[in-house]
Amino acid sequence: MGFLPDRTLDHLREVTEAPDLSGTRYEVEEEIGRGGMGIVYRARDTQLDRAVALKVMDSRGVTAEEAKVLALLEHPGLVPVYDSGTLPDGRSYYAMRLVRGKRLDEFVAREASLPARLRVFEKICEAVAFAHDRGVIHCDLKPQNVMVGSFGEVFVMDWGVACVRGSGAAPGAGTPAYMAPEQAREGHQPVDCRADVFALGRILVDLMPPERPRPLAAISRKASATDPADRYTTVEQFAADVTRFLDGQPVTAYRESPLERLGRYYRRNQLLLLLLGVYFAVKLILFFLARH
C-alpha cells in the first residue's frame, strides 16, 4: 500500500466527515459550529425552500436524544426542532430553526452596558428555568451555547449532554470552566438544577465589567458556590436576585452597610431627591425674599 500524501489525507478527512444527505430533503451549505455531540451545518430544506440548522451526531449509534429533549421543550428561548432522521452511514441528525445572531461571548464583547447584558441574562435564566420545570438539566451552559438575536431574543443552544433531573451527567460532558464540582467528579454523580445554577453563576461573572458591583459579585459567588447546598436552590431564585439588583433593590446574597444602602437609595431615587432639593431650595429662596 502506497504512502498517503498530505493532500490526499486531508481530502479523505474532509469527504468522510461530510454528511451524506442523499435521500433526505436537505442540502448542506456550510459548517457553522461544533457542539457537544456533533457538528452543526447550515443546510437548505429543499421541500420548503428554507434555511435550517442541521446537527449531525458524531458517531454511529448515538441517537438524537438532544432532538427528543428539545422537542419536549417548547419555549421562545429554545430552538424548535423540525425533523430528525438517520444518515445512510448510521449517524443521527436533526433539523432545527437556523438562529441568526451572535454568541453570548461575542455579544458581550460588543455590548458594554451592564443592564443590557443583565436583561439578556434574565432571558437565559427564563429558558433554563423552563427546562428545569420539565425536569431537564442542560449540564453544559456556557457563553458559547447561548445565541443573542438582533432584536434581543435569546436562545439556549446545544442540549447534547442534557440529562433528566436526578440522573448522572454523561461522563466527560460539560466544559471545565463552567462545570459544577459535583458534575466533574468521577463516578456518574447525580446532578440537579443547581449544576446549571453553578454554570449560570460563572456566566454572570463573564457579563460583569472588571470593576464588579459588590452585590452582583455576591450573587455570582453564591450561585457558583462549591457546595450545592450553598447555592440558590432554583434558577428562578437566582434570576430574582439579579432582577432586584437591576431594579436597585437589596439582593438576598449580599448584606449591605448603611452607607451602601444610602447610596443605593440615592441612585434609585435620584429624580425624586432632585425634585425635593429643588423644592426646598425654592422654599428657602422665597423665605429669604419674604424676610427682606
Partner 1 sequence: MAYEPDTAMGGAHHPFPTTRSSLIQSAAGTGAPASEALEAILAVYWKPAYKHVRIRWKRSNEGAKDLVQGFFTALIEQEILAGFDPSKGRFRTYLKACLDHFVMKQDESAKRFKRGGDLTPVFDFDAAERELAASPSVEDVFFREWQREMFSLGLRDLREYCQTNGKQLQLAVFEEYDLAEESQPSYAELAARHGIPVTTVTNYLAWARRELRRLVMARLSAVTSGDPECRAEGRALFGK
Which residues form the interface with partner 1 (CB under 8 A)? Answer: 1, 4-18, 20, 22, 31, 34, 37, 39, 58-60, 62, 88-90, 170-172, 186
Q: Which is nearer to partner 1, 37 or 70 (CB)?
A: 37
* Nearest of 179, 168, 174 to residue 201 by alpha carbon: 179
Q: Which is nearer to partner 1, 39 or 124 (CB)?
A: 39
Cell 454554570 -> residue: 199
Residue 265, classed as helix, strand or coil, is: helix
The cell for 109 is 464583547
User: What minimum distance in Å lies between the beta carbon of 26 and partner 1?
Assistant: 14
User: What minimum distance in Å lies between the beta carbon of 126 and partner 1?
Assistant: 32
Q: Is residue 105 annotated as a catalytic residue, yes or no?
A: no
User: What minimum distance in Å lies between the beta carbon of 92 and partner 1?
Assistant: 13
Cα–Cα distance between 141 and 128 in angstroms, integer? 9
User: What minimum distance in Å lies between the beta carbon of 224 and partner 1?
Assistant: 24
Q: Which of 140, 158, 196, 241 is catalytic?
A: 140
As beta bridge partners, residue 57 has: 38
Angle at which helices 114-133 and 193-207 cross, to 10°? 170
Q: Which is nearer to partner 1, 22 or 257 (CB)?
A: 22
Residue 54, classed as helix, strand or coil, is: strand
Strands, E, within 113-162: which ranges? Answer: 136-137, 146-148, 154-156
As beta bridge partners, residue 84 has: 94
Q: Torsions phi, psi of 261, nearest 5? A: -65, -40
Q: Which is nearer to partner 1, 55 or 222 (CB)?
A: 55
To the nearest 5 percent, what fractions of the chain are helix, strand and coil?
45, 20, 40
User: What minimum distance in Å lies between the beta carbon of 149 and partner 1?
Assistant: 28
End-to-end Cα distance, the chain: 112
The cell for 102 is 451572535
The amino acid at residue 255 is: R
Q: Which is nearer to partner 1, 42 or 119 (CB)?
A: 42
Q: Which is nearer to partner 1, 49 or 186 (CB)?
A: 186
Q: Torsions phi, psi of 245, nearest 5? A: -60, -45
User: What minimum distance in Å lies between the beta carbon of 90 and partner 1?
Assistant: 8
β pairing state of 163-164 and 136-137: antiparallel
The CB-based long-range contact list for 49-52 (8 Å cut-off, 24+ gap) reads 51/98, 52/26, 52/82, 52/95, 52/96, 52/97, 52/98
Active site members: 140
